[in-house]
A and B are shown apart, each in its own frame.
Chain A
């Protein structure tokens, strides 16, 4: 058994955010090592450190037993590390052979292209992984799994010993997934080490030899996975459960063979969410009233949202949980008319409504504070006051003639109400901190006096102090009778703030849970755990 990769106590911070707090991770030749964790647990950062895209602040990296000091993307490539992303990074207008050639041939711009050799190599590589793809096909004509196979062919052609796959099955069908798995197992049989990232627990049980769980930038445990379909190597037969929280080398784990029970889905989920809710959230002080917004089998094919049925009641915060890609933002965009619904019905206080555009949504009293506010929540060039009044020009400025006096008064009101820290209404958006930008974005929509407020990741990238202020504001708004739909990937926030929790998975509601539910239940529903074992 050869050790391909060993990370020890790797740390990485982005500004004040500590993305990795001393993670250790190892990969052996001929194993599939799954990496699991919530959104923001540090998976992507870890991957970027392995591929050389980020430099770690501390800790050591050993590749094939040799310590590597500075790992750049080029060096990682030379050392045989390849990463296959969810969205293949290929040139869509070039053929398969050209794409493979660009990756593998020497980057000497003036050498002549040997087309024959290029085509031959592509054919051979594709045959090696059993892919039936013509080397002359344009990438854009290939399906997603075929494109991934081309990526794998590139990785093999480059002689990769370490292949990282980041949610490769996110957009694949069942059959395509099985096809991909067969190729991944072939890679393993050929002695390649595969780091496999997925949110789908069943895949991890089908495919992986070991699994490491990350949580809040720490590795909380490495476990052997029981169910291996083929077990060519003796050492892997044991069903081991490591006692320690450190990830230990493979041999050591195998040696400590202690007939522990097989790893269960439930145990994995516990590892992922096992955290105390340390923050204090403002308590709900009121009983929710009547349903304000009701959805009946609402769907939007282009947004990937299917048959959503739910009620949001006055004075209630309905938390919308789920993993990235579960369709939460897509649902919000459908409700706000950005990608209008094409199936089902929407009712506002019992009246049927149709929303074709954001203007319709605003007219019906639906407000949407988008995620990624640095890009879409505030217009950075514009002063706070102009940002805050952006959605209420009709009400505030009859005849569309701007009244700077009333604009400033309105802005000052909100600045006081939401405690926005800025030198005045004329401060431009880019001069504010993330939390204050979020408050400006919130003010813009509160100014429209909405009945339904949709918040998309309201505290993402906001510092702790501002976060708790925003939580208090949201609770106060609910108390004042607003129906709040809050999307969040921050599990404690969902659990602490919501009166009810809708968990989305695969574009639809997977579970409707009461507020103050157990983190375990929410995560289980988001991951699509069958039954409720454990």
Chain B
């Protein structure tokens, strides 16, 4: 209970919000809009899972939005060339992993600070894409949207994929050596090194994994519409970092769970439709989201002060 206090408090906040909606705005609970909401957030959640791993490892990756855009456009172009969708999916994941490997090489190999490295790659990939594509949208052929399935099935598929990733990653983090080592490296890389763990290898790996998940998320986003927006993924890094922080992952690394990130993302994602249904003006959305993030950071800060005393 005490150990998972942060996760439980976020879940409780989410519960209160949902309860308030049930009482004051039962119109919120309609299956189709809710499914659409979940579908929209599914790719974001997949990226947030990767971001959580990166932050647990005491790194950060702010280039995910740009990686996402490049992967989306590449996936769109390949699909337009009538590649089989399974192959497009694999390609998108590999491209993302390659971007992640680039970040990882600079961060783990050269020991550069990840915030600067990924800031550079964020700008480079985004501007490079704009220069290459001149902002042209990619038209997708028929049969790509929703994998050619009925929309409802496609939506459920995406939501289930996101949930499957959540469950498998959360279990892996708890039950595999690599997960344990990730927390160790994030807590204290030098101590981990002295315990025979390879912190640099872990760091590199986590960036590659982040890239691969971004590639997957890009594919999950691409198939939702008939066209690919070359500006997709803008602000994705902020959204995912916010979800991770609200979900109780310590920005200083070594602590947090994916269950918390899941609750954090749901909480932030529900604000906007909740406001609509509660007839609050939309511009309050950002204010409330900001306040939630601030609250989470303050809660972590207080906890750390208590720990250090």
Q: Which residues of A contact B (CB under 8 A)?
A: 336, 338, 357-359, 361-362, 368, 370, 375-382, 386, 390-391, 393, 397, 400-402, 430, 444
- Asked if residues A379 and B196 are in contact (CB atoms below 8 Å), the reply is no
Across the interface, do B255 and A376 meet the contact criterion of CB distance under 8 Å? no
Q: Find A402's partner among B175, B195, B196, B255 (CB 8 Å cutoff).
A: B175
Question: Given contacts A375-B188, A376-B190, are A401 and B195 in contact (CB under 8 A)?
Answer: no
B187 touches which of A357, A370, A382 (Cβ 8 Å): A382
Q: Is B283 an interface residue (CB 8 A)?
A: no
Q: Is B176 touching A401 in the complex (CB atoms < 8 A)?
A: yes
Task: State A471–B74 Cα separation when bound (angstroms).
Answer: 64
Interface contact A397-B190, CB-CB below 8 Å: no
- B86 in the interface, Cβ–Cβ < 8 Å? no
B188 to chain A, nearest CB (A): 5
Question: In the docked arrangement, what's the CA distance between A390 and B176, Å?
Answer: 12
Query: Considering the complex of A and B, which 6 residue pairs feature the smallest CB-CB distances, nearest first?
Result: A400-B177, A393-B177, A390-B195, A376-B191, A362-B196, A381-B187
Q: Which of B215-264 contact A (CB under 8 A)?
A: 254-255
Chain B residues closer than 8 Å to A336, beta-carbon distance:
194
Known contacts A362-B196, A430-B307, A444-B195: A402-B177 contact under CB 8 Å: yes
The distance in angstroms between the C-alpha atoms of A358 and B188, with both chains bound, is 16
Determine whether B136 belongs to the interface, using a CB cutoff of 8 Å to chain A.
no
The reply to whether B191 and A391 contact each other, CB–CB distance below 8 Å, is no
Give a binary string over B162-182; 1 marks a CB under 8 Å from any A CB, 0 the rest.
Answer: 000000000000111110110
Q: CB distance A382 to B175 under 8 Å? A: no
Given the known interface contacts A401-B175, A430-B307, the answer about A379 and B192 at a Cβ–Cβ threshold of 8 Å is: yes
> Would you call B177 and A368 a contact (CB within 8 A)?
no
Task: Decide if B266 is an interface residue (CB 8 Å cutoff).
Answer: no
- Interface residue? B60 (CB, 8 A): no
Asked if A393 and B255 make an inter-chain contact with CB atoms under 8 angstroms apart, the answer reads no
- Once bound together, how far apart are the Cα atoms of A141 and B186, in whole Å? 35
Given A368-B194, A400-B178, A401-B176; 15 other pairs, CB 8 A cutoff: A338-B193, A358-B193, A362-B196, A376-B190, A376-B194, A377-B191, A377-B194, A379-B191, A382-B184, A382-B187, A391-B196, A400-B176, A402-B174, A402-B176, A402-B177
Q: CA of A28 to CA of B149 in the docked complex: distance in angstroms?
A: 92
Check: B207 CB closer than 8 A to any chain A CB. no
| A469 CB, min distance to chain B CBs, angstroms | 23
- Looking across the interface, which residue of chain A has its beta carbon closest to that of B197? A390
The listed residue (A358, A381, A397) touching B194 by CB distance below 8 A is A358
Q: B196 touching A338 by the CB < 8 A rule?
A: no
Report 18 cross-chain contacts, Cβ distance below 8 Å, ordered by A residue. Answer: A358-B194, A358-B195, A358-B196, A359-B196, A361-B196, A362-B196, A375-B188, A376-B188, A376-B190, A376-B194, A380-B187, A381-B183, A381-B254, A393-B177, A400-B178, A401-B176, A402-B175, A402-B177
- On whether the beta carbons of B177 and A382 are closer than 8 Å, the reply is no
Q: Is the CB of B191 within 8 A of A381?
A: no
Residue from the list A357, A391, A400 in contact with B195, Cβ < 8 A: A391
The residues of A that contact B178 with a CB separation of less than 8 Å are 400
Closest Cβ neighbor of B190 among chain A residues = A376
The answer to whether B198 has its CB under 8 Å from any CB of chain A is yes
Q: Which residue of B lies closest to A358 (CB)?
A: B196
Q: Which of B178, B194, B195 has the most CB of A within 10 A?
A: B195
A397 to B176, CA, bound (A): 9
A250 to chain B, nearest CB (A): 45
A338 touches B191 (CB 8 A): no
Q: How far is the CA of A386 from the CA of B180 in the complex (A)?
A: 8
Chain B residues with CB below 8 A from A379, complex form: 184, 187-188, 191-192, 195, 254
Q: Which residues of B have CB within 8 Å of A391?
A: 195-196
- A338 neighbours in B (Cβ, 8 Å): 193-194
How far apart are the CA atoms of A370 and B188 in the complex, in Å? 14
Contacts of A430 in B (CB 8 A): 307
Chain A residues in 8 Å Cβ range of B176 = 400-402
Chain A contacts for B307, CB-based, 8 A: 430
**Which residues on the A side are within 8 Å of B183 (C-beta)?**
381-382
Chain B residues positioned under 8 Å from A357 (CB to CB): 198
Q: Are B180 and A370 in contact, with the CB atoms below 8 A? A: no
CA distance A338 to B190 in the complex (A): 10
Cα A368 to Cα B255 in complex, Å, equals 26
Query: Closest Cβ of chain B: how far from A363's Cβ, in Å?
Result: 9
Q: A402 to chain B: which residues have CB within 8 Å? A: 174-177, 180
Q: How far is the CA of A526 from the CA of B221 in the complex (A)?
A: 68
* A378 partner residues in chain B, CB cutoff 8 A: 191
Closest chain B residue, CB of each to CB of A336: B194
Complex Cα–Cα for A246 and B43 (A): 76
- Nearest chain B CB to A239 CB, angstrom units: 51
Select the residue from A361, A393, A397 with max chain B CB neighbours within 10 A.
A393
Find chain A residues with CB under 8 A from B188 CB.
375-376, 379-380
Closest Cβ of chain A to B173, distance in Å, is: 10
The distance in angstroms between the C-alpha atoms of A522 and B193, with both chains bound, is 33
A390, closest chain B residue (CB) = B195
CB neighbours (8 Å) of A401 from chain B are 175-176
Alpha-carbon gap, A378 to B188, bound state (A) = 9
CB distance from B197 to the nearest CB of A (A): 7
Contacts of B187 in A (CB 8 A): 379-382
List chain A residues, Cβ under 8 A from B175.
401-402
How far is it, in angstroms, between the C-alpha of A401 and the C-alpha of B171 when the chains are bound? 10
Give Cα distance in the complex from A271 to B187, angstroms: 44
Docked Cα-Cα span, A344 to B244, in Å, equals 50
List the B side residues contacting A377 at CB < 8 Å. 191, 194
User: Is the pair B191, A375 in contact by a Cβ cutoff of 8 Å?
Assistant: yes
Smallest Cβ-Cβ distance to B174: which chain A residue: A402
Contacts of A375 in B (CB 8 A): 188, 190-191
Looking at the assembled complex, report how far the CB atom of A149 sits from the nearest CB atom of chain B, in whole angstroms: 32
